[in-house]
Structure 1
Amino acid sequence: MLRKTLSIITLFLIGSTLYAQSIEDLMGMVNTSNLETIVADLSGEQTTTINGMSQTISNRVQSNNDLSTDYIRERLEAFSNLTVQVQNFNSTGKNVIATQHGSVNPDNIYIICAHYDSVTTFCADDNATGVAAVIEIARILSSQCTENTIVYALWDEEEIGLLGANYYAQQAANTTGGNTRDNILGVVNMDMIGYDGDAPGTAGDNEFDIDVRDIANSLTIKDDLLDVLNTYTFDLTPIVVDPGTTFSDHSTFWNQGYSAVLVGESWETNDQTPNYHTSNDRAADIDFPYMTELTKLVLAYTASKSELVTLDNTVTENATSLISNQTTGTYQWINCDTNNPINGETAQTFVPTTNGNYAVEVSNGTCTELSTCIAFTALSTESFSVNDLNIYPNPVHTILKVENFLDTNLSISVSDISGKVLNTITSSQSIIEIDFTEYTNGVYFIGVNSETKSGSFKIVKE
């Protein structure tokens, strides 16, 4: 965050019905572990996979942050229904913009944003926290069809004068040469959303600021956020700051007459990180439960304003089949292990002939949604016993081994906590090795199937 130094007071689910539709259920999908991983990756406190290689983001200072740009771009490109571009606005500055086009009112735009550049090494709170929240919200909402357009924007060069956001806002408002002013209806900027003076995870005031000014309909955004707080259950206490600070990216939209607010930890009550703008700004100081609550708040606001299309991408599983809960429309069942559509499987109900991971793509003619991948194992008559398999070590650091005592052909899948299949292996070897080196730290699930048995095993990567 660009503040005047302290003179200014900033699972994988297996079972019946999967995937959320209501705003409250979508809020429940915000994953604290995902936020922790992204903050640790961006602050360089752990290695991560970028451009297919295990790398460490040494810092995000604007003159040397290409690696963080690639990291953000790759994460957003992995989500469905997003158009991702890197916007070069000067010789070094690069905004990363992901657009989820509205199916009914594509010109009505809501922007959820954060800056990703930093002033020195680490800078976990400022502003890896805001970036992590934007990416997590994009992960969840990109699976939904919306009537209005959502732009997930990660700004560069905030720390040297709000340059990236200012360029975007000026371009959006430009009406010269026959250009039409972009119909941006609301901007929510998240800058430093991870520090609360109470011990992380403990009960406390959980105060946060909503910085606002009476510009365009900015006060309405503030009111809408307060309505969300009163509609759903949060462990948060809002502090409305009016007139709010101009020292972050939302103010560049105020300058162009757009509606915008800043959401962040409470500088107004002097409860901001004590390690502001230093290399002591580390992930260990982040109150991730508090950060999760703020992420849920902005997600709920965005989901309500973007207007979710009534299209149900949930799936019900029974003993013999998978059933799309969308009762009208078109269907295409997908084999998640191969990422390919299954030929001829276009009915609401799908009866698998083999165990595996499956999803359904549903469409109502104007928009399409994809369900999560479901591990279907109902065809198995037995589960593996300790005499059949041995999977070790757990936690794993580099190589996971599956010891196959049955000497039979095994189909093995590796899935992340969201259900995304990352790798598949088929082998009858007595010891099957799976390379975890490139995977980020966190929880994974190993699905193992033989002709007669199946099992799912939770593995932790450290």
Structure 2
Amino acid sequence: MKNLLLPSFLLFSFLGYSQSYIQTYKNRANQVTQANVNTLLNDFAGLGIKTTGSVANNNALAWLKGKYTAFGYTAAQISEHTFTYNSKQSKNLIVTKTGTTYPNKFIIICGHYDTINGPGVNDNGSGIAIILEAARILQNISSEYSIKFINFSGEEQGLLGSQAYVTNVVNGTNPKMDIKLVINIDEVGGVAGAANTKIYCEKDGTPSFPAGMYSTYPATNNAASTTATNELMSCMTLYSNITPVTAYIERSDYMPFDKNNEIVTGLYEFNQSSKPHTTGDTYVNMDPVYVYNIAQGVLGALQHFSTSAVDITLGAIESPKSLNERISIFPNPANDFVNIGLDGKGYTTTISDFSGRTVLQSKDQQNLDTSKLKSGVYLVKITMNGESVTKKLIIKK
């Protein structure tokens, strides 16, 4: 269990810059879309059980590379780091955005893409979706510090990918890689149907493990980790509607960095799901809206830690997207459920057959139970703030 301490720091105490920075960072955080998050989670699920070194694991790597390439990252920015597990090779994927002022000092945001026993949509498709959204939005945004988006494999077998990366890459240069901060995102999908309104922000200095377990870990980075985690908590409060709660790091990909005396922090779900590492770690058993909300906080935090530039155009309030642009319906064709990829509140959804008969209606509900609908073609009408959009839905049993 995580150790719980509510934040007592002042929200803006660390923000030593003007309101224009805050507004710009917030505008970019608001570019996270629920539709993108939903699509990424479902695509991740479709890749199957991504055990380290498996075909599905390799397919997930290729999927990730395709996403970064589609976002505009070049071959020079994308690299692979290979390690061996059970006589099989697996790869970490690293995408680097070079900073303008401190090109050789790095903010690392990381999360693992390998899974065991199930598709791992929560553990850790949720973290991967957030990292990808951050990379998409910040692709052409300059920052003073360099940013590395790292997707690790081998986490479930004992942090193999991250340990190999620290040993061979971080410490494999002379001088070793200069890391300002490591932000790890692991299992932030929440529990379907629960009130997922809080997030654990994790710091170094775990006091609750048995004596000796942390004897090889330095304590000299603990205070700096606490400072960084407090800043992360402030960013979650400022740029999302999720309440941050203090916890301590444990058993995830920041641990090899911590042992290497780097400064680390991380995010982990507050309502802890029982589904990870099982066949039940699926889209329907987690909360995609929670992932969307956390992603906004992460976007704000990543800009803060990397000192992203202020763009005058982005600093202004952006024009809202049309309802049609904000909606995605998937899967389509659907079977037992369909997801309405729409962020926000105040919308109604009506599903009708082609005779005009209403067969399903809901309010502010993303996941709809369509298990009782027969195979066929239906119309989905979504109404919000006086605007309506109608889309076609196919039910296929």
TM-score by length of 1: 0.57
> Which position in structure 1 is the counterpart of 2:50?
60
Provide the rounded CA distance (Å) in 2 between the counterparts of 1:139 and 1:248.
Answer: 24
> Which position in structure 2 is the counterpart of 1:433?
none
Matches within 5 A, 1:231-380: 232=238, 234-242=240-248, 244-245=249-250, 247-266=251-270, 271-312=271-312
SS of structure 1 residue aligned to 2:78 = strand
Provide the rounded CA distance (Å) in 1 between the counterparts of 2:98 and 2:147.
Answer: 7
Provide the rounded CA distance (Å) in 2 between the counterparts of 1:183 and 1:313.
Answer: 33
Residue 301 of structure 1, CA deviation: 0.8
One-letter code of the match for 2:227?
Answer: T
Which structure has the highest strand share of the two? 1
Q: Any idea what the Cα deviations from partners look like across 1:141-196, whole Å, max 9, x if unmatched?
A: 112111110100000010001011111122344267xx111111111111000114
> Which position in structure 2 is the counterpart of 1:80?
72
Distance 1:306 1:233, change over 3 A: closer
Provide the rounded CA distance (Å) in 1 between the counterparts of 2:307 and 2:105.
Answer: 11
**Runs of 4+ in structure 1 over 6 Å off:** 394-398, 457-462
1:70 to 2:62 alignment: yes
Provide the rounded CA distance (Å) in 1 between the counterparts of 2:61 and 2:154.
Answer: 12
One-letter code of the match for 1:225?
Answer: L
Q: Any idea what the Cα deviations from partners look like across 1:310-337, whole Å, max 9, x if unmatched?
A: 4456699xxxxxxxxxxxxxxxxxxxxx
SS of structure 1 residue aligned to 2:275 = coil
Q: 1:140 aligns with which of 128, 137, 141?
A: 137
One-letter code of the match for 2:171?
Answer: N
**Contact persistence 2:196–2:290 (CA under 8 A):** no
Structure with the larger RCO, 1 or 2 (CA within 8 Å, 6+ apart): 2
One-letter code of the match for 1:257?
Answer: N
> Which position in structure 1 is the counterpart of 2:199?
208
Residue 287 of structure 1, CA deviation: 1.2
Distance 1:461 1:60, change over 3 A: farther
Provide the rounded CA distance (Å) in 2 between the counterparts of 1:109 and 1:315.
Answer: 25
What is the RMSD of the two structures over their aligned residues, measured on CA atoms? 3.3
Q: Relative to structure 2, which stretch is displaced further, 123-132 or 77-86?
A: 77-86
> Which position in structure 2 is the counterpart of 1:110?
107
Provide the rounded CA distance (Å) in 2 between the counterparts of 1:23 and 1:309.
Answer: 9
One-letter code of the match for 2:60?
Answer: S
Provide the rounded CA distance (Å) in 1 between the counterparts of 2:286 and 2:108.
Answer: 25
**Contact persistence 1:130–1:193 (CA under 8 A):** yes
Q: 1:40 aligns with which of 20, 36, 42?
A: 42
Provide the rounded CA distance (Å) in 2 between the counterparts of 1:396 and 1:126.
Answer: 21
> Which position in structure 2 is the counterpart of 1:122?
119
**Contact persistence 1:115–1:156 (CA under 8 A):** yes
1:92 to 2:89 alignment: yes
Residue 63 of structure 1, CA deviation: 2.9
1:227 to 2:229 alignment: no
1:191 to 2:183 alignment: no
Residue 36 of structure 1, CA deviation: 0.9
Provide the rounded CA distance (Å) in 2 between the counterparts of 1:396 and 1:62.
Answer: 27
Distance 1:312 1:74, change over 3 A: farther
Provide the rounded CA distance (Å) in 2 between the counterparts of 1:21 and 1:79.
Answer: 24
One-letter code of the match for 2:141?
Answer: Q
SS of structure 2 residue aligned to 1:309 = coil
SS of structure 1 residue aligned to 2:110 = strand
One-letter code of the match for 1:235?
Answer: N
Q: Any idea what the Cα deviations from partners look like across 1:10-67, whole Å, max 9, x if unmatched?
A: xxxxxxxxxx9800001100111111111111111xxxxxxxxxxxx23211131111
Q: Name stretches of at least 5 consecutive residues in structure 2 with no aligned partner.
A: 4-21, 206-218, 322-328, 334-341, 343-388
Q: Any idea what the Cα deviations from partners look like across 1:377-413, whole Å, max 9, x if unmatched?
A: xxxxxxxxxxxxxxxxx99969xxxxxxxxxxxxxxx
Which structure has the highest helix share of the two? 2
**Contact persistence 1:196–1:207 (CA under 8 A):** no
SS of structure 2 residue aligned to 1:22 = helix
One-letter code of the match for 1:87?
Answer: H
One-letter code of the match for 2:83?
Answer: F
One-letter code of the match for 1:124?
Answer: V
- How many residue pairs end up in the alignment? 293
**Contact persistence 2:236–2:300 (CA under 8 A):** no
Distance 1:151 1:233, change over 3 A: closer
Residue 92 of structure 1, CA deviation: 1.4
Residue 104 of structure 1, CA deviation: 1.8
SS of structure 2 residue aligned to 1:223 = helix
Residue 220 of structure 1, CA deviation: 1.7
Matches within 5 A, 1:383-402: none
Provide the rounded CA distance (Å) in 2 between the counterparts of 1:162 and 1:461.
Answer: 42
Provide the rounded CA distance (Å) in 2 between the counterparts of 1:185 and 1:31.
Answer: 29
Distance 1:459 1:77, change over 3 A: farther
**Contact persistence 1:396–1:461 (CA under 8 A):** no
Provide the rounded CA distance (Å) in 1 between the counterparts of 2:117 and 2:229.
Answer: 32
Distance 1:182 1:136, change over 3 A: same
Q: Any idea what the Cα deviations from partners look like across 1:328-380, whole Å, max 9, x if unmatched?
A: xxxxxxxxxxxxxxxxxxxxxxxxxxxxxxxxxxxxxxxxxxxxxx9xxxxxx
